[in-house]
Structure 1
Amino acid sequence: MKFDISRHLTLAMATVAIATVLFSFIVFYIVYTIAVWCAPKLFPPGFSAMPNGWDLVIMGVVTGMGIGLGAWIAAGMARHIVEPMHAVGRAARAIADGDLTARAAPLVEAPGETATLVEDFNAMAGRLEKAAHDAVSWNAQIAHELRTPLTILKGRLQGVSDGVFVMDDMLLRGLLTQVDGLARLVEDLRCVSLADIGRLELQVGEVDLRTGLEEWAAMMAPTVERAGFSLSVESASIRARVDMARLRQALLALVDNALHYATPCALRLVVRHQERGVAIHLIDHGPGVPLDQQADLFRVFTRGAAARETHRTGSGLGLAVVQAIAHAHGGAARYRWQDGHSHFIVTLGA
């Protein structure tokens, strides 16, 4: 037969009460027996340390009172310990049945350790609910982002097969553009997913950031200029241990974001020393990110209303990739509006 914690506590406290009373009486009579034997003159004639009827009655009353007090204390302790645990159990069973919104809410004030258990359980349940929600959202977003290029590819290829379109250079370049977009989307998803589980691997080497960034800026110049922008690098000769390929991927996402949303201007890539590592600023002339969107700017699949209207084909992954690569380098990505300019800042740890 299994007993719950409240019964165990009650039995334990009753046992302690009985043991305490019995131990007290036994010690009491042992001490008196030794005293009578060692110093009989201190006691009246015929004195005996053995209990008589009244002693046994008193012992029984005291034992009963001890058991009652112990049971009352045990019941109070059980109420404060067991009820929160029952609440955790009920919530756990509800979550196991599929209700991820279930939380443990004890009806009494729990002691420290039990309260911590309830708080930790609720925090775990919250993270589980968020993970499940994010998984559903990810699946929906990925399906949405893949559908458009796949539909275009299928439509064009079906048209070629039916003789509606001619496979000329222009059509072929258009199809390759869609394939490139798919490839980049898949790589962005892979990068963010690996970073989310802490498995984004870097091929780190010591490089001269100014040389590497200038070479990359020169390669990006034709694309940037076609959009009405220019790109310059402002950096001292700084050596750092980074994965240059991943860093270029992050900067490509930042530049691509600027080309779609910023006013045509001179983009400045500024590299600065900081206390630990370096900070790379991509600076444009705005119009900037609304204040209510800045907190979620680098989250996966986050796009503001204005962004969705002006650039309908964006995936909302670019800045999340930037954050993932920054975190992999021991740094972070953040946004700052300063002196009429947008600063997208990538910090890299030492």
Structure 2
Amino acid sequence: MNMRRQPRFDLSRHLTLAMAMVAVGTVVFSFLAFYVAYTVAIHIAPQLFPPDYSALPSGWDLAIMGVVTAMGIALSGWLGLRISRCIVLPMHEVARAARAIADGDLSARANPVLEAPGETAMLVADFNTMAARLEKGAHNAISWNAQIAHELRTPLTILKGRLQGVSDGVFAMDEALLRGLLSQVDGLARLVEDLRCVSLADIGRLELRLTDVDLTQELAEWAALMQPTLTKAQFGLHVSCPPVIARLDAGRLRQALLALLDNALHYAHPCTLRLEAALGPNGLEIALGDQGPGVPEAQVEALFEVFSRGASAQNTHRTGSGLGLAVVQAIASAHGGKAAYHRDGTQSRFLLLLPQPALVSTFVPTGENLP
């Protein structure tokens, strides 16, 4: 049995008692001060008072004092109850919800109290916000564990099966088998790096190695590196970038571009992709565009969230982990920017928006288009 400690005191009762004691003290002090003042005045200036005047309270004075004290106690008790209700009820709600959360019910929330003053109402609201984030964090942790296990299962099963086959003499360890095993290892390594990138970004610990990068040369080298993969998938790539020196992490930029390219190869129709960079009003804009079919409207809002994959992707050949666009958002956020998606007719554009406070521009009147 889960034994709960009872509260050592009731705040409402103590607050009411304190208010009553203040009322009694105030009345008694007022009467005492009144008679002390009159006693001093009689000794200093007796001619101001009748010969038989006495500062000591009479029966009527004591009766009046008793009535006033009783009224003060009643009024202060009523006020104490009202005030304690406004303060204690929200605290009871927070305590009840906290106990429920401690017992494992992460959906528990404190009910708002209409009579609560601003501070206690804010306490309830802040507690509910904290509880909602705790519930979301726990849900995300469970989802992450399930998704990671799901993504690791396939390559590990393939590796184990092939290696077991080699051990049993079923498969020959030839060059083709080695290439297949290495491709599975590469996939695992990329999945681990993507998970590491997203996890570090989620806690604000994704470190960047910022350098001044010749963006034109960087994009040209990356495009040349990706050309065999594009050709195999029957895609083309057109790069457009005016001469510009940008301060960013070149390695993370390539990781983000690779994630965008992988997303296009998985979901877009074979076409000529357009990789464009330009200086916009808010900094550097790098966009990768394809010819559709585009992202369904219902999926756009969660497009850059971790393990976000549409129903069509889950029901078809799609083999992506659902981490690619989350990695893009993580890298953009680490640079102080963001990732975005726009659709213009049949063309989809995935953008990296990177603010460049220290950007060194070497624009020329006419830009160059890289093949």
TM-score higher than 0.5 = yes
Distance 2:191 2:317 in 1: 16
Q: 1:289 aligns with which of 276, 284, 295?
A: 295
1:191 equivalent to 2:197? Answer yes
Q: Say which of 66, 71, 83 aligns to 1:65.
A: 71
1:87 paired residue number = 93
Residue 322 (structure 1) aligns with: 328
For the residues of structure 1 that align with 2:65 and 2:334, how far apart are their CA atoms?
A: 72
Matched, 1:313 2:319: yes
Tell me which of the two structures has the higher relative contact order, counting C-alpha pairs closer than 8 angstroms and 6 or more residues apart: 2
By how many angstroms is 1:39 displaced? Answer: 5.3
Cα shift at 1:214: 1.3
Per-residue CA distance 1:240-259 (angstroms, 9 max, x = gap): 21000001000000011111
CA deviation vs aligned residue, 1:102-131 (integer Å, no higher than 9, x gap): 111256532211111111111111111111
User: CA separation in 2, counterparts of 1:338 and 1:242?
Assistant: 28
In structure 2, distance between residues paired with 1:255 and 1:338 = 19
**Which of the numbers 168, 171, 175 marks the counterpart of 2:177?**
171
Letter in 2 for 1:294: V
What is the aligned partner in structure 2 of residue 277 from structure 1?
283
Q: 2:227 maps to which residue?
A: 221
TM-score normalised by structure 2 residue count: 0.90
Is contact 2:278–2:284 with CA below 8 Å preserved after alignment? Answer: yes
Task: Tell me, in whole angstroms, the C-alpha distance in 2 between the residues paired with 1:309 and 1:106.
Answer: 43
1:5 is matched with which residue?
11
Structure 2, unmatched stretches of 5+, are 1-6, 357-371
Deviates more, 1:206-215 or 1:132-141: 206-215
Which deviations, in whole Å up to 9, do the C-alpha atoms of 1:299-334 show, x marking residues without a partner? 111100122234332110100100111110000111
Q: How many Å separate the matches in 2 of 1:107 and 1:329?
A: 43
How far apart, in 2, do the equivalents of 1:111 and 1:211 lie?
61
Q: Structure 1 108/311 Cα, relative in aligned 2: closer, same or farther at 3 Å? A: same
The 8 Å contact of residues 232 and 266 in structure 1, kept in 2 or not, is answered as yes
Q: Report the Cα offset of residue 13 of structure 1.
A: 0.6
Instruction: Please state if 1:349 is matched with 2:360.
Output: no
Aligned residues: 350
1:55 maps to 2:61: yes
Structure 1 stretches of 5 or more lacking a match?
Answer: none
Cα pair 1:10 1:71 within 8 Å, conserved: yes
**C-alpha distance in 2 between matches for 1:58 and 1:3:** 35
- 1:265 Cα deviation after fit: 1.5
Identity %: 67
Please tell me the root mean square deviation across aligned C-alpha atoms, in Å. 1.7
Which residue of 159, 162, 179 maps to 1:153?
A: 159
1:247 counterpart residue number? 253
The one of 144, 148, 152 equivalent to 1:142 is 148
Cα deviation for residue 232 of structure 1 reads 2.0
Q: Is this contact kept in 2: 1:29–1:50, CA < 8 A?
A: yes
Range with bigger deviation, 54-63 or 276-285: 276-285
Deviation at 1:30, TM superposition (A): 3.8
* Cα distance in 2 between the residues matched to 1:3 and 1:151: 61
Question: For residues 189-216 of structure 1, what are the alpha-carbon distances to aligned partners after superposition, in whole Å with 9 as ceiling and x for unaligned?
Answer: 1111111111111111111211111111
In 1, Cα distance between equivalents of 2:323 and 2:114: 46
In structure 1, the partner of 2:138 is 132
Which whole-Å CA distance do the structure 2 matches of 1:25 and 1:246 have between them?
80
Q: What TM-score results when the alignment is normalised by the length of structure 1?
A: 0.95
Task: Select the residue among 193, 204, 208 that pairs with 1:202.
Answer: 208
